[in-house]
Amino acid sequence: MRGCLVAIGLLGALVGAQAEAKSVALIWKGAKTQADAEAHRAAWGNIETLLEKTKWELPEGHPKLVRSDTLAGLKPGFWVWLVGVCDTEGAATALAHLKVFAPDAYARDVEVEAMDQACPSTDGAPLVARKESLALNKKGQKLQVFTQEESQYLEPGEEFGDQFTLTRYHFVLLSKKGELLAAEEVVGEEDFSGDVRQGPTAYRCELEGIGRSGAESLVLTRNCRAGTAECGSVVRADEVTRVTVQGSTLVRGTTTRMNEQRLECGD
């Protein structure tokens, strides 16, 4: 009798654990008909490019178009673009990243075994929204800015190589409906130490700010200082990069230097 009670208790615990281990589907877009859903596919290209740049990797074969009837938990009668199926924690992380470039993406609880989950991997640092933005009222477009930290250090046992930390600024142009139109990137803060075999190279840049210029441009300014310098080389300068909305595209201007200071040469 005692053995039966123990077995029942273990079975109850197993069922409870399975109930808690939810699966969550990440969905990009959907439509009533297959043709309408397939018409959205062309818009995925820009999104996928940015996801790859920000180290967000899709499961093989995704996104894939499926009938909602095939995933228990979804409202039947639709065709949806499935980006992946994750556990609860993985879904929250992946969806937060995805929604930066695809604001209409969403998540739904589904009945999928854990072994059948296929979740996007997010190896990069989280994307962080900046307060700076540009609203183009006539077009209903919006230019937003997001940052992502990156770093590279020497592996254990390595003696030589480049090391750096930096903040990459992603300028993202969205349509009135929230669709991704274009994106450009500019490096802001940066701390670089080069491979000594290539000669001493080191510099540090700090963000001065991001400001509006005219009705359709944002300008990023950073101040850079050299850690090592030779006679006549630049030891300090401001670097200015302009990102401009042109129609439904973004144009990243050439970075220009201002207020240069050079190392004076001795006699």
Q: Are residues 81 and 29 in the same domain?
A: yes
Q: Which of 102, 122, 142 is the last residue of a domain?
A: 122
What would the two tokens of residue 131 be? 């307060």
Residue 202, C-beta contacts closer than 8 angstroms, at least 6 positions apart: 192, 193, 194, 226, 227, 228
Decide if 234 is inside a domain.
yes
In this structure, the dihedral spanned by the alpha carbons of residues 182, 185, 127 and 95, taken in order and rounded to 10 degrees, is 30
Decide if 267 is inside a domain.
no
Domain harbouring 85, CATH code: 3.30.70.1070
Decide if 13 is inside a domain.
no
Q: Is 22 strand, coil or helix?
A: coil
Digitized pLDDT (tens) for each residue of the chain, 267 residues in all:
444 433 434 344 334 434 445 899 999 999 999 999 999 999 999 999 999 999 999 999 999 999 999 999 999 999 999 999 999 999 999 999 999 999 999 999 999 898 889 999 988 899 999 999 999 877 899 999 999 999 988 778 777 778 889 999 999 999 988 889 999 999 999 999 877 677 668 899 999 999 999 889 999 999 999 887 677 778 899 999 999 999 999 999 999 999 988 888 865
pLDDT of 127: 92
Query: How far is it, in rounded angstroms, from Cα 13 to Cα 17?
Result: 6
Decide if 257 is inside a domain.
yes
Q: Are residues 143 and 56 in the same domain?
A: no
pLDDT of 136: 87
pTM: 0.83
Residue 169, C-beta contacts closer than 8 angstroms, at least 6 positions apart: 130, 145, 146, 147, 185, 186, 187, 188, 210, 220
Q: Are residues 213 and 183 in the same domain?
A: yes
Strand residue runs (E) in 98-162: 106-110, 121-122, 128-136, 141-152
Decide if 14 is inside a domain.
no
Q: Is 204 strand, coil or helix?
A: strand
Q: Which of 83, 105, 122 is the last residue of a domain?
A: 122
Decide if 33 is inside a domain.
yes
Q: Which domain holds residue 107?
A: 22-122
Q: Are residues 103 and 211 in the same domain?
A: no
CA angle 187, 189, 192 (to 5 degrees): 90
The alpha carbon of 253 is separated from its chain's Cα centroid by a whole number of angstroms, namely: 22
